[in-house]
Amino acid sequence: MSRDAIHDPKLHRARRTRLLEALGDGLLLLPTAPETLRNGDVHHEYRPGSDFHYLTGYPEPEAVLAAWRTGRGRHRAVLFVRPRDPAREVWDGKRYGPALAQRLFGVDAAHPIADLWRVLAEVLPTQPRLFHRLGADPAWDQRLLQFFAAQAKKHRRREPPAHPVIQDPLPVLAAQRLQKDQGEIDALRVAAAITASGHEVAMRAARPGRHEYEVQAALEAEFRRLGSPRNGYASIVASGANACILHYHENDRRLRDGELLLIDAGAEFAGHTGDVTRTFPVGRAFTEAQAAVYRVVLRAQLAGIRACRLGARSDAPHRACVRVLTQGLVELGVLRGTVAKLVAKERHKPWYMHGTSHWLGRDVHDVGAYRDADDRPEPLPRHAVLTVEPGLYFAPDDRKVPRELRGIGIRIEDDVLVTARGPEVLTAAAPKSIAAIERICAGRAGID
Ligand code: GLY
Ligand code: MN
Ligand code: MN
Pairing of strands 272-273, 267-269: antiparallel
- Residues having C-beta closer than 5 Å to ion ligand 2: 275, 387
Kindly state if the Cβ of 389 falls inside 6 Å of ligand 1. Answer: yes
CA angle 29, 137, 143 (to 5 degrees): 65
Distance 266 CA to ligand 3 centre (A): 7
Residue 57, H or E segment: none
Q: How many Å from the N-terminal Cα to the C-terminal Cα in the chain?
A: 46
Q: Is 226 exposed, middle or buried (0-12, 13-18, 19+ CB in 10 A)?
A: middle
What pLDDT does 445 receive? 73
Kindly state if the Cβ of 275 falls inside 6 Å of ligand 1. Answer: yes
**Phi, psi (degrees; rounded to nearest 5) at 51:** -65, -45
Distance 101 CA to ligand 1 centre (A): 34
Q: How far is CA 9 from CA 55, 69, 165, in A?
A: 10, 17, 30
393 flagged as catalytic: yes
Q: Is 74 exposed, middle or buried (0-12, 13-18, 19+ CB in 10 A)?
A: exposed
CA angle 418, 356, 189 (to 5 degrees): 40
Show the beta-strand stretches assigned E in 266-408: 267-269, 272-273, 276-281, 385-388, 391-393
From the centroid of its chain, how far is CA 349?
Answer: 25
Catalytic residue among 74, 103, 249, 365: 365
Residue 337 CB coordination number (10 Å): 11
Residue-wise pLDDT for 39-79, tens only, equals 999 999 999 999 999 999 999 999 999 999 999 999 999 99
Nearest CA, atom 4, ligand 1: 275
Distance 266 CA to ligand 2 centre (A): 9
Q: What is the CA radius of gyration of the chain?
A: 25
75 flagged as catalytic: no
Distance 371 CA to ligand 2 centre (A): 18
**Phi, psi (degrees; rounded to nearest 5) at 53:** -65, -35
What pLDDT does 1 receive? 63
Kindly state if the Cβ of 233 falls inside 6 Å of ligand 1. Answer: yes
- Output the 3-class SS for 74-133: EEEEEEEECCCCHHHHHHHCCCCHHHHHHHHHCCCEEEEHHHHHHHHHHHHHHCCEEECC
Q: Can you tell me the distance from the alpha carbon of 201 to that of 180, in angstroms, rounded to the nearest whole number? A: 29
**Phi, psi (degrees; rounded to nearest 5) at 278:** -130, 145
**H-helix segments, 156-273:** 170-178, 182-205, 212-225
Helix (H, G, I), strand (E, B) or coil at 402: coil
Give the chain's length.
448
346 flagged as catalytic: no
Q: Can you tell me the distance from the alpha carbon of 180 to that of 315, in angstroms, rounded to the nearest whole number? A: 19
**Phi, psi (degrees; rounded to nearest 5) at 180:** -70, 140
Q: What is the DSSP letter of 393?
A: E
Among residues 77, 61, 72, the alpha carbon closest in space to that of 15 is found at 77
Q: Can you tell me the distance from the alpha carbon of 391 to that of 298, in angstroms, rounded to the nearest whole number? A: 9
448 flagged as catalytic: no
Q: Which of 249, 364, 385 to mutate to test the pocket of ligand 1 (most atoms within 8 A of CB)?
A: 364
Give exposure, 370-400, as e/b (b: 16+ Cβ within 10 Å): beeeeeebbebeebbbbbbbbbbbbbeebee
Kindly state if the Cβ of 388 falls inside 6 Å of ligand 1. Answer: no
Amino acid of residue 324 = V
Q: Can you tell me the distance from the alpha carbon of 215 to that of 444, in angstroms, rounded to the nearest whole number? A: 13
45 flagged as catalytic: no
Among residues 219, 238, 277, 233, the alpha carbon closest in space to that of 414 is found at 277
Catalytic residue among 354, 383, 406, 444: 354
Residue-wise pLDDT for 290-332, tens only, equals 999 999 999 999 999 999 999 999 999 999 999 999 999 999 9
- Counting as low any pLDDT under 50, the low residues of the chain are 448
Kindly state if the Cβ of 264 falls inside 6 Å of ligand 1. Answer: yes
Q: Which atom of ligand 1 is nearest to the CA of 389?
A: 4
275 flagged as catalytic: yes
Distance 263 CA to ligand 3 centre (A): 9
From the centroid of its chain, how far is CA 78?
Answer: 27
Which strands form 272-273's sheet, in the order they lie side by side?
230-231, 267-269, 272-273
53 flagged as catalytic: no
pTM: 0.96
What pLDDT does 447 receive? 54
What pLDDT does 446 receive? 63
Catalytic residue among 163, 319, 358, 406: 358
354 flagged as catalytic: yes
Distance 188 CA to ligand 3 centre (A): 15
Give exposure, 299-317, as e/b (b: 16+ Cβ within 10 Å): bbbbbbbebbbbebbbbbb
Q: Name all domains of the chain by residue range, CATH numbers in brackets.
A: 9-176 (3.40.350.10), 180-442 (3.90.230.10)
413 flagged as catalytic: yes
